[in-house]
Structure 1
Amino acid sequence: MGEIAVHEFISLDGVVEDPRWTFEFGFDPEMGDTLAAVTSASNAILLGRTTFEMFAPAWSGRTAADDPGAPFFNDTPKYVVGSQAPSVEWSRSTLLGAYDPARIQALKDETEGGIYVSGSPTLVRALLADGLVDTLHLFVYPVALGRGLRLWPEGSERTRLALQAHDSYDNGIVHLAYGPAGDPAA
């Protein structure tokens, strides 16, 4: 059975929207090692339609010589959640249709190894709400943006998580890996 591993770049105030704000911090090679460990354990990619449409043109033309992550993104089966078909094509991609937690659970049941999710905040919110995320990798940037789409919007249900791992990098970014927390009443 597959496990869903989500990766998000997030500000101190919870913003995950449009990660161009992360560029000023650079990309520490150790962050790449952490992400490579997540992707190397994954046999599928699950994305929301908007993130898919951003990733397809960015990754489909890259080779391993351009970026060591290119073979993973281009050769791995990709599953797209969205009520409308993506406006771009990308090899080995399948449209799952509108978000359906039963369909995502079936994908987990059908997949050996990890299912990698990057970005896709609307999808991730739903996955978290439905208890379908096995590991949440937050790369926390030392900046509060003050506005933008947050991973947990105002009024969200309480979400308890258990810290599984953590790392800090020379560029000030902290990686926090969380999994589901056990029932505190148990």
Structure 2
Amino acid sequence: MGAIKVHEFTTLDGSVGVPMWTADFPWTDQQTEDTAALTRDAHAILLGRTTYEMFAPGWSQRTADDDPGAPFFNDTRKYVVSSTLTEPSWGPATVLPYDAARIARLKDEVDGDVYVSGSGTLVRALLADGLVDELHLFVYPVGLGEGPYLVPPGTPKIALGLLSATPYENGVVHLTYGPAGS
């Protein structure tokens, strides 16, 4: 049985929109290794439709020579949560509607972890339904003053427990949370 591990780039004020602002903070070797570790034990990728459609053009054109992460993103089975997408166009992919019980079963069906990246709407639903085993926030030292936010105003309380905190030389901090009490 695997775990659902969410990976998000966020700002100090919680914005998780398209992370163009990360370019101002060149990655450190440790940050690269920590991010690679999230995918190392994952045998499935769970994405919302918007993130899937944003990732497809970029990743589908990359090879291992371009980026060591390309084989993972291109070859790993993707589960795309959508009520509108009918024909996935990138890699091995299955479209499914959001159903908490069905997504919970993925942990039993996949021989390894389930990796989630971006996919703010999906991640908010997973958090609300208690389906996130690890929430990896890479917090960048910048505030945007605008969203979209991982936890927007009006969201019911979500309690998590801190599992680890790793600061990097570029000012980014990797915070890992799990279910409260873990």
Specify the TM-score bucket, using the shorter chain as the normaliser: over 0.9
Distance (Å, rounded) in 2 between the aligned partners of 1:52 and 1:65: 22
Cα pair distance change 1:100/1:88, threshold 3 Å:
closer
Partner of 2:47: 47
Partner of 1:169: 168
Root-mean-square deviation over aligned CA pairs: 1.4
Partner of 1:37: 37
Residue 142 of structure 1 and its aligned partner are, at CA, apart by 0.5
Q: TM-score, normalised by structure 2?
A: 0.96
Distance (Å, rounded) in 1 between the aligned partners of 2:99 and 2:132: 14
Cα shift readout 1:115-138 (whole Å, capped 9, x = no counterpart): 000000000000000000000000
Contact 1:44 1:111 in 2 (8 A): yes
State the aligned residue count. Answer: 182
Q: TM-score, normalised by structure 1?
A: 0.94
Residue 18 of structure 1 and its aligned partner are, at CA, apart by 0.9
Alignment partner of 1:18 is 2:18: yes
Cα shift readout 1:12-51 (whole Å, capped 9, x = no counterpart): 1100011112111122221110011110010100000000
Percent identity (aligned): 60
Distance (Å, rounded) in 1 between the aligned partners of 2:87 and 2:146: 28
Cα shift readout 1:72-116 (whole Å, capped 9, x = no counterpart): 1011110000111167611111111x2111110121221121000
Residue 182 of structure 1 and its aligned partner are, at CA, apart by 2.3
TM alignment of 1:1-186, pairs within 5 A: 1-85=1-85, 89-96=89-96, 98-182=97-181
Distance (Å, rounded) in 1 between the aligned partners of 2:68 and 2:8: 19
For 1:12, the aligned partner's letter is L
Distance (Å, rounded) in 1 between the aligned partners of 2:87 and 2:12: 33
Unaligned runs of 5+ in 2: none
| Structure 1 ranges of 4+ moved more than 4 A | none
Distance (Å, rounded) in 1 between the aligned partners of 2:21 and 2:86: 25
